[in-house]
Amino acid sequence: GNSVTQMEGPVTLSEEAFLTINCTYTATGYPSLFWYVQYPGEGLQLLLKATKADDKGSNKGFEATYRKETTSFHLEKGSVQVSDSAVYFCALAFMNTGFQKLVFGTGTRLLVSP
């Protein structure tokens, strides 16, 4: 089946630390991969995406590379800020009954302290 596994949180970092949130997937075919971010009290916002192997998605200093050989899409940022505190969801899209269905990981909460 199609599924996403991401690391348990919370991840607690100091400002300017390096961030990695691991995400691995199981899928048939070649899914698109996404990272969504959810700030407190808000909906999910697309952070970045990659639609084929070796693509690198990037936005707001965050990056993730679609690695087909390791079925991974790890999220990284070189220097986190307090404002990055949020819940991050890894997701994949696959075709199901004629439409693209999103499957989400369980989310990883990031807490950044000053």
Q: Which residues bind other proteins (CB under 8 A)?
A: 31-32, 34, 36, 42-46, 49, 51, 89, 92-94, 96-102, 104, 106-107
CB of 1 to other proteins, least distance (A): 14
CB of 109 to other proteins, least distance (A): 11
CB of 70 to other proteins, least distance (A): 21
Question: Which is closer to other proteins, CB of 49 or CB of 74?
Answer: 49
Question: How does DSSP assign 92-105, residue by residue?
Answer: EEEEETTEEEEEE-
CB of 39 to other proteins, least distance (A): 10
Question: Which is closer to other proteins, CB of 42 or CB of 69?
Answer: 42
User: Is 76:19 a contact under the CB 8 Å cutoff?
Assistant: yes
Q: How far apart are CA 40 and CA 42, in angstroms?
A: 6
In angstroms, the Cα distances linking 56 to 40, 48, 73, 95 are 27, 9, 9, 22
Q: How far apart are CA 92 and CA 94, in angstroms?
A: 7
